[in-house]
Copies of this chain bind each other. A is one copy, B any other.
Amino acid sequence: MKASVLFSGGKDSSLSAILLEPFFEIELVTCTFGVLPVGEVAKKAAEKLGFAHRTIGLNRKVLEEAYEFLIKDGYPKNAINHIHHAAVEQLACEKDVSIVVDGVRRDDRVPVLTVGQSRSIEDRLGVKYICPLKGYGRSAVDLLVREYLIIEEGQSSEIIKADYEAELREIIRQRHGEYMIGTLFPFHMQSHVIGRKK
């Protein structure tokens, strides 16, 4: 049975795919608003991992709504959760998709669906929503990353990743300039998968 993994090119979505590989036929799916060539970035990472990959377009309205959240809040949590929820819903609505996989882990705060949102998506849309890393803490994830992946790490601004934040940052850059990105987005390390060990 096919499992469709929301794929950002980062270690969590890559590891989620690897954990499910023995049990499902994996396809990686990257969501984009068309602001940056994130589909191309993700495609290269997917090739390194050896998984099928495709890109789907999200409604630009969702990005504008996220932009409004971001400007109103002054931090990206609700904006990114809004995009993530829309992405899960859109993938779950596809006719041939019956299992949606999300790379969220135990200690993540963003983006994360509540248990209520997860059940609602499963019940309304008739899909299974699986988060393979939801029961893994940082040290367990790090162990598997070291064993299975080759990654490069850097600040969010340096690493080109196919996640929702990349396009939201770009919109802020276009409309408010580089400086505003540093104000709205907290510094954090990003990782990008550049190879697979086994």
Contacts and interface: CB of A to CB of B under 8 A. Distances in A.
B130 A135 contact: yes
Contact of A128 (B22, B23, B143): B143
Contact of A122 (B104, B115, B139): B139
Contacts of A137: 118-119, 122, 128-129
A92 to B, nearest CB: 13
Interface residues of A, number: 27
Interface of A: 1, 19, 22-23, 99, 102, 104, 106-107, 115, 118-119, 122, 128-137, 139-140, 143-144
23 contacts: A1-B143, A19-B23, A22-B22, A99-B140, A102-B135, A104-B135, A106-B134, A119-B137, A122-B137, A128-B137, A128-B139, A128-B143, A129-B137, A129-B140, A130-B135, A130-B136, A130-B140, A131-B135, A132-B132, A132-B135, A133-B135, A134-B134, A134-B135
